[in-house]
Each structure stands twice: as C-alpha cells, then as structure tokens.
Amino acid sequence: MTATGGAAAAGSGLMAADVSRETVTGGLKAASGGRDTVIIGLEVHCQLNTASKLFCGCSTDYRSDPPNTHVCPTCMGLPGSLPAMNRRAVEYALRVAKALNCRVAEEAEFARKNYFYPDLPKGFQITMYNRPLAEGGYLDIEGNEGEKRVRITRIHLEEDPGRLVHMGTPDRPRYTLVDYNRSGIPLIEIVTEPDLRSPKEARRLLNGLRTTLEYLGVFDGDREGALRVDANISIPGSERVEVKNISSYKGVEKALTFEIARQKGVIRRGQKVQRETRHFVEARGVTTSARSKEQEHDYRYFTEPDLRPLQVRDWVEGIALPELPAARRERFMAQYGISPEHARTLCGELRLAEFFEEMAPCGNPLLAATWVADTLQGELNYREMEIGKVPPSHFRELLEILCRKELTDTAAVEVLRRMLDQCLKGGEVQSPAQIMEKNMLGKTAGDAFTNVVREVIAECGDAVRDYRAGRGEALNFLVGQVMKRTRGRADPKELTRILRDELARQGT
Amino acid sequence: MVSEEEVLRIAELADIGIGKEELPPFTRDFNAILDYFAVLDRVPAGEGWKAEIANVLREDEVTPSLPREEVLALADAAEDGYIRAPRVM
Amino acid sequence: MARGETHRDPLNAFITLAEIPPRAPGRLSGITVAVKDNISTRGVETTCGSRILSGYVPPYDAHVVDLIRNEGALISGKTNMDEFGMGSSTENSGFGPAHNPRDPERVTGGSSGGSAAAVASGMARMALGTDTGGSIRCPAAFCGIVGLKPTYGRVSRYGLVAYANSLEQIGPMAASVADCSLLMEVISRYDPRDSTMQDRPYLPRLDGDIRGMQIGIPAEFFGRGVDPAVADRVRKAIGVLEGLGAVLVECAMPSMEYALAAYYVTCTSEASSNLARFDGVRYGPAPDYRKPWHEAFQEVRMQHFGPEVRRRILIGTFALSAGYHGKYYGKAQVARQHVREDYARLFRDVDLLAGPTMPTVAWKIGGKSDPLSMYLADILTVPANLAGVPAVSVPCGTVRGLPVGLQLTGRPFEDEQVMNAAFAYEQGVKA
Ligand SMILES: [Zn+2]
C-alpha cells in the first residue's frame, strides 16, 4: 500500500497548456545564458488554514480522522450540489498577494479545469485560469550571491483534490482507494518566474514563502501535506523538465539536485534531455518519467458558472498587513542590537521570532539571541522537536539565571537538555531552578555546594597544609577536587574565591 | 467537415467510449450540427456574456458533514472507510 | 416506491411513484406536487431519467423540496424526463417515453414531460419542472397547462442536477395561472447555497389588469418553421390581450438568427463538464475494478448514458477543446450577449414580448428521427434562457385538437408582471 501525498500535484498538475506554464517557458528561454546556469521556476501549492473548506462547510481539520468523514454533497461532487465561496480563503489569498507585492486583479474569476481522475469528484477542478487573483509580484531571498529578488508570476486560489491510496505493487497495480477528506481544502498556488539558479535558492524561496505565509497567519507549514511543489528546471543544452509531486522543503532541494545530475548525465552520454514531466519519488530521492499521455491533456477551461466573479481591488486596499520577516529582522537589529545572522535565523520562523521576543526582556537580549538562535535551535533540531513544545516561562527563567551569573554555560546547557527531555516525554516539566537544585547544577555556593567544599577541605589535609604553608598550587588541586565532585558545574573562578574564603574562615 | 478520426479523438478526450458501428452515424449527426453552428461565424464582434453580480461569498463557518455510513452506502465498494476506484498507476 | 406501474401511471409520467409527506402545514397543505426527477430528494431515488443514476438515492433534499414540504405539499413522485434534460419530447428517457394525456401517441414535449403529463392528467395538482432551453414551457404548451421559467437567479438550483448551469432554472407548472403563481411564491425563497441566486422573492400580483401594457410582437417569432395554424392561434390570443387594454407593438429581434446555435454550444459545453462526475465510483453503477481507470470510466459512460447524452458530451467537448474554443464556445458567449442586449433594447419600449411557445403542436412519438430537427423545435424558447429573462407558457386553445401555448416574456425579475398578463389572458378567455 503506497500513499500519494501529492495526489494534487499528480492530479492538478498533469498539464500541458497552462497559462502559468507558458509564461515560465517564455521566461526560461529569455533567461538562459551562462554556460553553467541552472534555471528553475516553482509552482508552490499551500493549503490555507481556514476553518472550513473552500466551497463547503466541511471542517479542514481532517488529519487525525478516518477517511471520508469530512465530506458533504459539495466536496463529494454529488449530483445537484453547488459550491459557495469561503470569504476567509479569498481574504487570505489577498493577504499573500499584498505581502508578495503583487498587482491584484480588477476582477478575478474561477474556472473549471476539466480532466478525469478518481481524486477529482466532479471530473473537474475549480481553479483560476486566465483571470487569477494577482500577478507580477516578488519576494527577496538570500541568493547564491547575496540578496536576490525572485519575481512572482501569479497567485490564484483552487480546490485540493482527494487523496489516493494505490493498492497492489507498481508492477501489479490492483485498484485505488479514495479518501475525499482533503477534497475541497483551499489551496493557494504561487507561481514564480524562472529566476532561481540553484536547488539551494529554490529551497530558500520556499522557506521565504513559508515564513511569509506564516507571518500572515494563513498557513501552517508543519501540517503534513500542507505544501506541494512542482518545479520547472533546465540546464544548458537541455529541454525544460517539470518535476511534480514534491511535498517537503528538503524534497525540493533533493529533487532538483537529482534532476541536475540526471540531466548532466544524459548530456554527457551524448543524448538529448526530453521535454517531459517527471515525478519525484520522495522515498528514493529520485525522479521518474511520467507517462507521456499525461502531457497531452486539453483541459477545456471555461468560467465556473456556479460562482460569481471576485472584485477585490478595494478589498485588498483595506487589508492591513502584519510586520513581515524583512521588517522584523531590521527591527530586531535596531531594537535589540543583535547580529544580522541571528536576526535572520530568528525571523526565519514566526514562532521562533515570537519566542525570542518573549525572551528578550530577560536582561540581556544578545544573550537571549544566542541562546534561542544557536543553543536552543541546536538542541531542538537534535530532538526533532518544535519550538512550540518549549515552555517560554521556563526558558526565560533559565536565561534570567544566566544573566544573574548563577549558572555556568555548561551547566545551563545541561539544565536545558533535561528540560527538553522532560518536554518531549510529556508529563510534568520542572523549572530550571528545580532542575538545578535536584542535580546540584547551581553555580552559587548553595548549601550542597558549600558542603562539597567542606568535604574536600576535611578529606585533603595534606593539600590544606601545603596551602597554608604558602604553596599556591595546592589551591588548584583543591579546586580540581571540588570540580570533580560537582561534575564541572562550578565556576572555577568563583570556586577559587569560595575555597579561599572557607580556608580563611576555618584557619582563624 | 469533421472526419471519423477527429470524432474518435474527441470521444477519447471526452472519455465517452464509442462503438465501431456508432462512429458513422455519430460523425454524420456531428457534422450536421456543426454545419448549423456555422451561423455563429456571422455573429458581430463584441464582448462575451458575463455575470452581473460579484463577490458572492459565505463566512468561514464549519457545518456538519455527512455521516460516513451514508457516504459509503452510496458507493458500490468501500474498504476500510475508503471508496474503491479502478487503478490509475 | 414503484417504477413502471402501468395501471397507476398509464402515461409513464413518473419514474418513481413515492409519497413524500409534508413536514409542516402551510400554503400547499392538501396539494399534491410532482417533482421532476433531476431534483434531489433525500431517501428517494433521483435518476435524471438516466440509467447511470439508476439506484442513486440522494442523502439530501434540494432547496425547493425543503420549501414545498415545509409549506404542506405532499410529493407524489419523481417525474419522467429526457435524460439529464437533454431533449424536447421526453422520448430520450432511460425509462421509456412519457405519453401526452391529450393523445397518448404523441409526445408530451420535454424535457419536463412527466411533470406536464402528471398535471394535465390530474395525477398531481402542481409540478416542479426545470427549464434549460424551454423544458418547462414546451411540455406545458404541448400538454395544455401553465409553466413558468423564472428569471435566472430567482429560484435556488441547490439540489438540481446540473445540465447547463448558466441557463437553467427550476420552475412551477400547474393547470391554472393562480396555482402556478402560488408554487412560484413558495419556491422563490432565498438560499445562500446557490451563489447565482438573488434575494428577490416572487410576490404575486394577479389582478388581471393589463390596461396600457405595451406588448411587443417580434416578427422572428412568427418566422420560418412556425406552423401557420399555430401562428394564427397565437395571433388570436394576442388579440385577446389587446382587447383587455394592452397596446401591441410590432418589433424585431435580429439575434434570433444565431440564438439557437449559441444555446446549443453553451449547453453542450457546460454539460460535457457537468456529466464528467458520473464515473460509478462514489455512486451509480460500478465500474470494472479490474480495468485501468480510463478504460473502466469509458465503459461505464458508454453503457449507461443514452445516445443523445453522449452526442451532447461529444459536441460540448469539441466546442471547448483547444483550437475550437474560440470558434464555438467563445463565439457563443458573444452571441449570448447580443441576445441579452436585444431584450434590453426591446424592453426599453415594451413591457412584455408575446409569441408562440413552440413552432408546432406535439408530434407523434418517434416522429423526429434526427437530432438537429429536434434541436430546431427549441428556437422560440432558448432566447429567454440565454438572457435569463422570465417567460411563461399559457394555454391558448388548440390546433387540430392539440394544445397550443402562448409565450409571454418579461424583464428580468418581473416574473410577477409576466404571470399577471398570463392571468389576464386566462381570465379573459374564460369570461
Ligand atoms: Zn464538504
């Protein structure tokens, strides 16, 4: 049993005569030039996080539910059902259009894209064709050579098809199972010009889009299958190849890297790279050729007669955008004095940026930036954990303790690790102070800590005598002993002072 | 004049299925109808028909979906809550 | 529930005889209403006259079904029709033709032929029909009853199985104008589920006063192909209106030349897309799961769609396909706009247009063999659908013993005025 997460890509995407594609083709030719230039354009489909579907009232919260439990006459395509447009989906798409600096259409309209596939309950997909919501925008990303402006060709809304499960094996397919829960989920399609020059840039663009959409509050990139990408790619001497079915951020880079290597190999062998559509097989990290029949489709677009056009110029003007990633980066640097690198990392993910802003008042924003952007991120990545699972109050307490210099860096990392492990396990999560106490991780001379010092003084009579005899290196030995017993969590400088004080106290 | 081959091509695009014995009469009727449609060549140029109202929208509110038993009962074959369809791979 | 019970339904007016009880008392209490079988009824088979929906029992009610049941109506069954509404005689039904109560050897007209036959034979007092290019008015004329195609956007299409979405409306059919008007009043209540509907409910105004009303008579409505006896009968009926105080105005409607072609291109194009959903997967007769998708899908459609449906899917697919889209679908939309402009221009000077509903009386079952001659019978009814304007057919006597319909067309959302003129005529003839 193999599931196609990207049935939308497989379905919605088996196209030949798409407006967007034509634009991309034109651009590809115009843009090709340099000998080693890779030319990439993307079509990005993102599920908008509305409460109900695009054309019916079924809930979009289907991921943890059994198949075919979020369906109604409309999203099942029952005879006589009609679509009714979700206002919030349009609002969200307009926010994206505005944030990506697009020209919003005077009037947009939905059209039917006709093709037969079992994931498409009506035998057509309601999408936008020659009158999309918006055109001609851009997004700035960090490119191969510094800041880079990637042009956005167009943005439109469409409905997601259902999900297919293929029974049997690729060699002996048996039949298909269909789940229509996903059918009718609102998708926004963002098409870029062929301005990208490497798989890495493609991934950065995706990350940029994701961040922007999350800042706008219209998208949740953590949800499985929320993002699907088709990529158009060509290298010098090859025809344009379309790679479909990419459904993750890493997948884009992988698929394109594979495709470049494949095309170079084909050229090296003296063969021609065919103009074709290929599918990305995520599990194997390869692209495979799609059947040629899929490229012969004629989608017979026409205006959707059951819906009315959208006049959105005034609407979009009334939309107030929240602070976007670029603006937030600038503000973080100005307001908190943090480095551009830290600002980029922190603002690259909405929840990370918000988390940092909760931490910044801990007393030292620079320290907070380092700890959130570097230390915490590293620990989270190691655990494949999301920032949302970290209790902000606990982390802030940890930073405050650090600011008060009551904990060494090493010990603070130890506290953090224990805290994260507890978060991951679920159940009660102890506060940093509790963890410190329980594990004797505090830097200050707490009782337990002073006891260790006293123990060492009592047990190492020779060294104490040597110290009193004026042999300075004996103090180093004693410090080492305490460090050993407290497993390195004591601050050596501080410890030296405490030892000296204690010896002086006992000596009188 | 549309040929039988063209009618076959359209039938394939429409996924309608067409029998060998049906093809000649279908093609004949098809051509008679297209001949009649030729009157459209005389239509004066102008704007196409368009809807008169715009921005008909509903609020983003969740309404109940159908009970799954009813959905699956409509289908000929269901399996583990899924609906069965012929293979596409 | 029963199908083909000939003793109870000798005219084959119904595909399914089923009593659906009212939900609450109201303005239709005690009234039996027959519902065309392309209107969704929860728990009662809805076939659209097609074998491909044989056994399909919808899990929901159409908006109009909700409305009439809430007003006390008893639904007596689902009426026979041309498959998916594609026909003008109810001969293209997957369940056999309906028979005209005036002469069972003749067609009822179509596609709402079963609804017309049910009313004309007294099996139901009122009926719901649907009109895409004349499908209410044609059978109303052929069976001698009243039928209204409302203004586009005045009755919710939610639950109407789509044939040509931009053209069709559900409408009332009854033996009298007053009954027809009452049913229209009930079904025109707003429904946000149909985005093409407007919240402008029908408020009946049947006083029969048409003094001073300007009535246009387009020459094209009496042109080539119209049976002279029918034309003569209709002219006499228009004379009655004049006698009641209306002012007659001769006028012209040049877009009639290409209206029928524009209609057929539009409806087949939309139909080719609408009917794509019938693949046997979610409902309807099962596909062969051993075969690959396209093969199984073609097989289902070839086996279960009738020849006229397949012909129209073919034409519509062609009209939308790359290379022909502009020549056919695109041109048809321009033609459609000309029709709309023609009406707008005429309605600046006149309040109503009058003419025959159909060019002939009902023909013998099996009497029209080629599809094009059947299409040509719609020439007088399709313009109202292209423009979305209201039009009623009211009985105006007979020719050779068969009913003739007078068609009255009005401005958009002036269904009340159209019905009032029909009422004036009906009462005027009685007097
Ligand atoms: Zn739904």
The helix or strand, by DSSP H or E, that contains position C307, with its residue range, turns out to be: helix C307-320
Give me chain C's average pLDDT, please.
96
Range in A14-28, A49-63, B73-87 the model is least confident about: A14-28
Q: Would you state the pLDDT for residue A446?
A: 54
Please check the confidence at residue A27 and state whether its pLDDT lies above 60. Answer: no
Q: Would you state the pLDDT for residue A448?
A: 63
Among B66, B69, B70, B80, most A C-beta atoms within 10 A, so best to mutate, is B66
CB-based contacts of A335, cutoff 8 Å, min separation 6: none
Q: Would you state the pLDDT for residue A196?
A: 96
Residue span of the structural domain in which B16 resides: 4-41
How far is C-alpha A16 from the geometric centre of its chain's CA atoms? 30
**% of chain A exceeding 90 in pLDDT:** 62
Which of the two residues, A442 and C11, has the higher pLDDT score? Answer: C11
pTM: 0.90
Of A287, A277, A293, which Cα lies nearest the Cα of A232?
A: A277
Q: Would you state the pLDDT for residue B89?
A: 72
C286 vs A206: CA distance, rounded Å: 42
Q: Would you state the pLDDT for residue A5?
A: 39
Q: Measured between beta carbons, which residues in chain C are less than 8 angstroms from residue A56? A: none
Residue span of the structural domain in which C34 resides: 14-208+392-405
Which of the two residues, C388 and A277, has the higher pLDDT score? Answer: C388
pLDDT bucket at C4, cuts 50 / 70 / 90: low
For C47-73, write each residue's pLDDT tens digit: 999 999 999 999 999 999 999 999 999
For B20-37, write each residue's pLDDT tens digit: 999 999 999 999 999 999
Would residue C112 show up in a list of annotated catalytic residues for this protein?
no
Angle of helix A461-468 relative to helix A492-507, nearest 10 degrees?
80
Among B52, B57, B61, B68, most A C-beta atoms within 10 A, so best to mutate, is B57
For C356-388, write each residue's pLDDT tens digit: 999 999 999 999 988 999 999 999 999 999 999
A83 vs A54: CA distance, rounded Å: 8
Q: Would you state the pLDDT for residue A442?
A: 65
Among C50, C56, C158, most A C-beta atoms within 10 A, so best to mutate, is C158
For C128-166, write each residue's pLDDT tens digit: 999 999 999 999 999 999 999 999 999 999 999 999 999
Mean pLDDT of C39-44: 98
Please check the confidence at residue A254 and state whether its pLDDT lies above 70. Answer: yes
Q: Is B39's Cβ below 8 Å from some Cβ in A?
A: no
Q: Would you state the pLDDT for residue A493?
A: 76
Please check the confidence at residue A308 and state whether its pLDDT lies above 70. Answer: yes
How far is C-alpha A151 from the geometric centre of its chain's CA atoms? 21
Q: Is B72's Cβ below 8 Å from some Cβ in A?
A: yes
> Judged by CB atoms within 8 Å, which residues 70-129 of A form the interface with B?
70-73, 76, 78, 84-90, 107, 116-118
Q: Is B7's Cβ below 8 Å from some Cβ in C?
A: yes
B44 vs A144: CA distance, rounded Å: 55
pLDDT bucket at A25, cuts 50 / 70 / 90: very low
Please check the confidence at residue A506 and state whether its pLDDT lies above 50. Answer: yes
How far away, in angstroms, is A162 Cα from ligand 1 center?
Answer: 11
Q: Would you state the pLDDT for residue A29?
A: 41
CA angle A57, A246, A104 (to 5 degrees): 55
pLDDT bucket at A13, cuts 50 / 70 / 90: very low
Residue A408 and residue A489 in contact, taking contact as beta carbons nearer than 8 Å? yes
pLDDT bucket at C175, cuts 50 / 70 / 90: very high
Residue C119 and residue C148 in contact, taking contact as beta carbons nearer than 8 Å? no
Q: Would you state the pLDDT for residue A7?
A: 37
The residue count of chain B comes to 89
Please check the confidence at residue C291 and state whether its pLDDT lies above 50. Answer: yes
Range in A80-84, A209-213, A444-448, A465-469 the model is least confident about: A444-448
Nearest to B87 among A67, A173, A312 (CB): A173
Q: Would you state the pLDDT for residue A16?
A: 33
Mean pLDDT of A25-50: 73
For C211-235, write each residue's pLDDT tens digit: 999 999 999 999 989 999 999 999 9
pLDDT bucket at A69, cuts 50 / 70 / 90: very high
Q: Is A239's Cβ below 8 Å from some Cβ in B?
A: no
Size of interface A-B (CB pairs under 8 A): 120
Angle of helix B4-13 relative to helix C307-320, nearest 10 degrees?
90
Mean pLDDT of A384-403: 91
| C51-80: b (≥16 Cβ within 10 Å) or e | bbbeebbbbbbbbbbbbbbbbbbbbbbbbb
C89 vs C83: CA distance, rounded Å: 11
**% of chain C exceeding 90 in pLDDT:** 97
Nearest to A112 among C273, C275, C321 (CB): C273
For B39-75, write each residue's pLDDT tens digit: 999 999 999 888 889 999 999 999 999 999 999 999 9
pLDDT bucket at C421, cuts 50 / 70 / 90: very high
DSSP 8-state secondary structure symbol assigned to residue C58: -
Please check the confidence at residue A438 and state whether its pLDDT lies above 90. Answer: no
Cβ separation of A114 and C320 shorter than 8 Å?
yes
Q: Is B70's Cβ below 8 Å from some Cβ in A?
A: no
Cβ separation of A57 and B89 shorter than 8 Å?
no
Is C323 domain-assigned?
Answer: no
What is the residue-wise DSSP string for C206-233? Answer: -----TT-EEEEEGGGGSTTS-HHHHHH
Would residue C135 show up in a list of annotated catalytic residues for this protein?
yes
Q: Would you state the pLDDT for residue C430?
A: 86
What are the angstrom distances between the C-alpha of C278 and each of A121, A291, C284? 9, 25, 7
Cβ separation of B56 and A85 shorter than 8 Å?
yes
Q: Measured between beta carbons, which residues in chain B are less than 8 angstroms from residue C386? A: 49
Give the CATH fold of the A446-507 domain.
Arc Repressor Mutant, subunit A (1.10.10)
**% of chain C exceeding 70 in pLDDT:** 99
Residue of C nearest to A68 (CA): C282
In chain B, count H helices and then E strands: 3, 2
User: What is the domain-level CATH number for residue C78?
Assistant: 3.90.1300.10
pLDDT bucket at C345, cuts 50 / 70 / 90: very high
**% of chain A exceeding 70 in pLDDT:** 90
Is C200 domain-assigned?
Answer: yes
Cβ separation of B42 and C258 shorter than 8 Å?
yes
How far away, in angstroms, is B63 Cα from ligand 1 center?
Answer: 9
Chains touching A, CB cut-off 8 Å, 3+ pairs? B, C
Question: Of the residues C40, C88, C112, C135, which is catalytic?
Answer: C135
For C237-272, write each residue's pLDDT tens digit: 999 999 999 999 999 999 999 999 999 999 999 999
Q: Would you state the pLDDT for residue B1?
A: 86
Question: Of the residues C93, C111, C269, C393, which is catalytic?
Answer: C111
Q: Measured between beta carbons, which residues in chain C are less than 8 angstroms from residue B77? A: 286, 289
Please check the confidence at residue A1 and state whether its pLDDT lies above 50. Answer: no
Is B87 domain-assigned?
Answer: no
Please check the confidence at residue A19 and state whether its pLDDT lies above 50. Answer: no
Cβ separation of A82 and C281 shorter than 8 Å?
no
Tokens, residue A203 = 């991934």
Q: Measured between beta carbons, which residues in chain B are less than 8 angstroms from residue C371? A: 29, 32-33
Which of the two residues, C150 and A225, has the higher pLDDT score? Answer: C150
CB-based contacts of C364, cutoff 8 Å, min separation 6: C105, C106, C107
Domain count, chain B: 1
pLDDT bucket at A105, cuts 50 / 70 / 90: very high
Q: Measured between beta carbons, which residues in chain C are less than 8 angstroms from residue B76? A: 280-281, 284-286
Chains touching B, CB cut-off 8 Å, 3+ pairs? A, C
Strands C146-149 vs C169-174: parallel, antiparallel or unpaired: antiparallel
Q: Would you state the pLDDT for residue A12?
A: 37
Cβ separation of B59 and A87 shorter than 8 Å?
yes
Is B83 domain-assigned?
Answer: no
Q: How far apart are the CA of A23 and the nearest CA of chain B, in angstroms?
A: 25
Q: Would you state the pLDDT for residue A292?
A: 55
Tokens, residue A186 = 């609102």
Please check the confidence at residue A494 and state whether its pLDDT lies above 80. Answer: no
Q: Where are the beta strands (DSSP E) in C47-199?
A: 74-79, 126-131, 146-149, 169-174
Domain limits, chain A: 7-21+40-236+298-317, 325-439, 446-507
What is the residue-wise DSSP string for C232-291? Answer: HHHHHHHHHHHHTT-EEEEE--TTHHHHHHHHHHHHHHHHHHHGGG-SSSSSSSPP-TTS
10 Å CB burial of residue B24 (0-12, 13-18, 19+) is exposed
Among B12, B49, B74, most C C-beta atoms within 10 A, so best to mutate, is B49
pLDDT bucket at A31, cuts 50 / 70 / 90: very low
Q: How far apart are the CA of C262 and the nearest CA of chain B, in angstroms?
A: 7
Would residue C195 show up in a list of annotated catalytic residues for this protein?
no
Judged by DSSP in three states, A193 sits in coil
How far away, in angstroms, is A49 Cα from ligand 1 center?
Answer: 15
Cβ separation of C321 and B85 shorter than 8 Å?
no
Please check the confidence at residue A32 and state whether its pLDDT lies above 70. Answer: no
For tokens 């369809």, name the residue: B85
Give me chain A's average pLDDT, please.
87
pLDDT bucket at A508, cuts 50 / 70 / 90: low
For A154-181, write each residue's pLDDT tens digit: 999 999 999 999 999 888 999 999 999 9
Please check the confidence at residue A326 and state whether its pLDDT lies above 50. Answer: yes
